[in-house]
Amino acid sequence: MQTWRLDDARQTLVLCAQGGLPQVTYWGAALPQGEDLSVLHAANARDLSGGMLDVVPPLSLCPETTQSFPGQPGLRGCCADGTPLRPQFKLREVVQDGQELRVACTDEARGLTYTATLALDTQTHVLRLQARLDSAAPIQLDWFAAPVLPAPDHAAEMIDVSGRWCGEFQLNDLPWTPGSHLRESLVGRSDHAHFPGLILPCTGTSNTQGAAYALHYGWAGGHRMVAEELPDGRRQVQFGHASGSYAAPATQFETAPLYATFSDIGINGCATAFQRHLRDRIVTTPTPRPVHYNCWEAVYFNHDLPRLKDIATRAAELGAERFVLDDGWFGLRDDDTTSLGDWQVDSRKYPQGLGPLIDHVAGLGMSFGLWLEPEMINRDSALFRAHPDWVLGEADQATGRGQLVLDMARGDVQSYLYDSIAALLRAHPITYIKWDHNRVLPVADVAQTHGLYALLDRLRADFPQVEIESCASGGGRADWGMLERTGRIWLSDSNDALERLAIQHNAALFLPACVTGSHVGPRLCHTSGRMLDIGFRAWVAAQRHMGFEMDPRELTAHEAQVLRDVTTWWKANRDWMMMADILRLDSSDAAVIAEQQIAQDGSRFVVFAGRAATSAQIAPRPLRLTGLDPAARYTVTLRAPDSPQAQSRGQIALKTGPVTLSGAALMGQGITLPCSDPGTMAVLEAVRREEAP
Ligand code: DGJ
């Protein structure tokens, strides 16, 4: 038996091998140095009983049918002649380099080499796992899992993520039951419906306490996730590209990175590990994050230069620092049936090009961003008329939002898009692209995603000053594969603050504030028909990377003042808030969605407690905080609402002035918020007191 271990201050992962593919036999709370890993392995081995094989087939990094593994194998495919691929790997070597393991296994008879990398980032606590398969002869793969991890025995439930347009990041608590739970995005993008993430809380775990595991597959192109309980009770989780993603036989296959983390401080420990890892290791977000203004919900396709200039002037006056010109500026794009692919400025709307608008925006002290949807094409476009063969999939396929997808694997398509976008970026001081993607793919196809990545990589290399936002009808591509190449996610097309509150609360399991766009929408929300107060809309946007998306001409003087005030507050706090940990609070009131953003040095925090509905009980329960030093004292001030609330008649402490309490009290018993209506936000600001010991 050979053993290896990866350690950080919080977790240990143990790998064991007996001549074949290694298996993870322990992943959880940090083990003492000196633990006998062979004994550990033996102590956790399953017993044998009647009706079982005479050995327990290993739950290896890539479970093999040739080992009589009783669950989903880690690899499925066939040789060129159609013979099913049933490899039997032998361990060649495992090389350990600090907290990184490189595993190499071969199946000489079949000409196959399996390699895997397991690397633990000891600062962020995030594991990065990736597998690769090399074959001497072309093979057709249907399924290839990233290194497979065991899931905890001591858990009754898993939490996966579903969603829809305007309703992203819905969490589902699902019971572990015998057999497999499959989540698969077959539509060529990570998609609203199947965000590639899984949370595995152990029994009794909440946001703020207990043991939990979290996994995320960093791939934009559609994935498959299997969480399976085997007949012997063991559990495994597999993530990989969606089945069928490999269109043709090939000799090399590589999974995307699977990110994983363990926490013994509740689900928040996983969330903050992911937030930090993404922010500090994967994305590059220029700071300070500028306040956005996006004109989509103000003008849609009706671009009119004087009107846009007026809107820009007002947006700047409200505090916007970047103006993003959304869909409708190119081709003959008067609605969504036409012109995708024709990335030339519409001279009917902009007779002198984009220059006059950009100059006006620059004169207001704002930078300029532009909307593009490069991977798409309308049949009604010059591009389609010239190159109907550039479309991915069948000629007579159904359109989505009137559009089709370009075949991004083609060199000529990539060149055309690069040249079109580069021409715009060279001609104008554009520092931002909102990169949209409003149609699912006809098939999941690895080459399509690699084509997209190549185009993004080339543009980023040649135009490093240009930041890119990933949008796909809102949050349809919010995965870390995209975020390796972009710096912001347009999390949802829902600017309904009530819905956004929940969407961004759940997305914080995977995404930090600095990449999560959140805009103040119109008074009457366009996607829900709901009317919401400006204070609530502004504070919900202030929880993340703030922006505005309403027509500023609709604002009353009072609304404009509230928006200016919250924006000023956000600017004063963004430097630490965009680097803060977002901790989801265990609210004892189902009607309150609350989070605490705490500075990395623990010196200050802000609590956002959004009232999403009317409570069952008549008065609010105290809200318990988290992540504080129990012995330290914190002075907590009610920042919002800053005016008397009709519903609140009592004399609770927060209403009469700042409250100073210990971390122990704030975490143990909590603090009472004023009564409030649904659609309001309580904001508490707090500083840790510097007190002599
Ligand atoms: C979908 C996006 O999510 C919206 O924000 C907007 O950019 C539209 N597309 C434009 O067509």
**How does pLDDT run across 199-235, given as a tens digit for each residue?**
999 999 999 999 999 999 999 999 999 999 999 999 9
Per-residue pLDDT at 656 exceeds 80: yes
Task: Check if the beta carbon of residue 297 is closer than 8 Å to that of residue 311.
Answer: no
Per-residue pLDDT at 644 exceeds 90: no
Q: Rounded mean pLDDT of 631-649? A: 90
Instruction: Give tens-digit pLDDT for 440-452.
Output: 999 899 999 999 9
Using 50, 70 and 90 to split pLDDT, how confident is the model at 362? Answer: very high
Return the residue matching tokens 């398969």: 133
* Contacts for 63 with CB less than 8 Å, ≥ 6 apart: 57, 69, 71, 72, 73, 74, 148, 236
**Amino acid identity, position 280:** D
Q: Does the beta carbon of 471 sit less than 6 angstroms from any atom of ligand 1?
A: yes
Q: Does the beta carbon of 296 sit less than 6 angstroms from any atom of ligand 1?
A: yes
Q: What are the b/e assignments for 63-78, b being 16+ CB within 10 Å?
A: bbbebebbbbbbbbbe
Q: Closest Cα to atom 3, ligand 1: which residue?
A: 473
Q: Rounded mean pLDDT of 59-81? A: 97
Q: Does the beta carbon of 375 sit less than 6 angstroms from any atom of ligand 1?
A: no
Return the residue matching tokens 């419906």: 193
Q: Does the beta carbon of 435 sit less than 6 angstroms from any atom of ligand 1?
A: no
Per-residue pLDDT at 693 exceeds 80: no
Percent of the chain with pLDDT over 70: 100
Element (H, E) at 599: none
Q: How far is CA 304 from the centre of its chain?
A: 35
Distance CA 7, CA 1 (A): 20
Percent of the chain with pLDDT over 90: 97
Query: Among the atoms of ligand 1, which is closest to the Cα of residue 473?
Result: 3
pTM over 0.95: yes
Distance CA 532, CA 537 (A): 7
Per-residue pLDDT at 691 exceeds 80: no
Using 50, 70 and 90 to split pLDDT, how confident is the model at 642? Answer: confident
Instruction: Give tens-digit pLDDT for 12-31.
Output: 999 999 999 999 999 999 99
**Amino acid identity, position 430:** I
Q: Does the beta carbon of 474 sit less than 6 angstroms from any atom of ligand 1?
A: yes
Instruction: Give tens-digit pLDDT for 533-542.
Output: 999 999 999 9
Q: Look at residue 400 and give its three-state secondary structure.
A: strand
Q: Closest Cα to atom 5, ligand 1: which residue?
A: 493
What is the average pLDDT score of the chain?
Answer: 97
- Look at strands 488-490 and 467-470 and give their pairing: parallel
Q: Rounded mean pLDDT of 338-351? A: 98
C-alpha atoms less than 13 angstroms from C-alpha of 338 in its C-beta half-sphere: 12
Sheet containing 223-229, strands listed edge to edge, beginning at the edge strand earlier in sequence:
149-150, 235-241, 223-229, 179-184
Of 303, 301, 315, which is closest to residue 519 (Cα–Cα)? 315
Q: Closest Cα to atom 11, ligand 1: which residue?
A: 327
Per-residue HEC secondary structure of 260-320 comes to EEEECECHHHHHHHHHHHHHHHHCCCCCCCCCEEECHHHHCCCCCHHHHHHHHHHHHHHCC
Q: Catalytic site residue 642?
A: no
Q: Which pair of tokens denotes residue 599?
A: 């500075």
What confidence score (pLDDT) does residue 692 get?
64
**Count of CB atoms within 10 A of residue 606's CB?**
23
Cα 549 to middle of ligand 1, angstroms: 11
**Cα 233–236–240 angle (5° rounding)?**
160
Distance CA 16, CA 288 (A): 46
